[in-house]
Amino acid sequence: MSIIKSSVKGFKDSFYLAKQLAKRDIKAQYRQSFLGVFWAIFPVLINSLVWIFLQSSGTIQMTATNVPYPAFVLIGTTLWGIIGECINLTSQSVNANKSIITKINFDKEALITLGLIKFFFNFLIKIGLIVLFLIFFKIVPSIEILFFIPLLFLSIIFFVAIGTLLMPISLLYTDISRLIPIALQFLMYATPVVYAVPPDGLMRKVMLWNPLSYIIVDMRNVLTGYGIENPYFWSFGLLITIVLCTIALVVYRVSMPILTERMS
């Protein structure tokens, strides 16, 4: 319990430092870039355009979607990108700041806060692109859109917790950090990111067994005027997230002094 209290205090005490580091990193990221913030949406946009072209040209046959396919795939790829960013958030933040970790004594929870601030900055740009697509295709959200922020917040905390648990291993063994993108690429094809859940067949069974499917489906639903299909999943997910987040905070607090010593 004392470790949890120390961790929470670490987040509070280091918030100003995290904010300053985030400002530095964001300015450095876009200072020498001609296209500026466009790079925040470029990967998502290109990935979406590839699938839109394949579908519109008849190269691949997609299951019918409940919203226009371009909006369907853009929202799906954006949400999938969020999952990947959250899992890698802690490891990337620690890796990028190795120089100050070994030279300055500060609460290392600042690195998680730093990663979250940068994540939300880029996310606001991406959500703006989604809004443009919704307007262009005349998709009117329903009252269910009020659930989007809670579901998004819960998903972010869950995947950041997973990434935080993986962080000590990925820093010690770089194979883990290389395997994560490959695993996520494989999982994307078993998740309704760029195509809807088929009405039958093996892929339908695979997707129904994949918990990531429920996250993508419900978050896309509340953005496009449809309701939450899996309320019990989210209730159970809340309990799992609380437990996982608690364990992650303990692991991070205990492992960082050891990792810092090994970096020195």
Domain range list for the chain: 2-263
What percent of the chain has a predicted confidence (pLDDT) above 70? 95
Q: pLDDT tens digit string along 135-159?
A: 998 888 888 899 999 999 999 999 9
pTM of the prediction?
0.91
pLDDT at 34 (0 to 100)? 55
Report d(CA 181, CA 84) in Å as an integer: 8
* 249 vs 32, residue with greater confidence: 249
Amino acid letter, 230: N
Query: Is the distance from CB of 75 to CB of 194 less than 8 angstroms?
Result: no
What percent of the chain has a predicted confidence (pLDDT) above 90? 41
Query: Is the distance from CB of 75 to CB of 130 less than 8 angstroms?
Result: yes
pLDDT higher than 80, residue 200: yes
pLDDT higher than 70, residue 38: no
Q: pLDDT tens digit string along 87-98?
A: 999 998 988 888
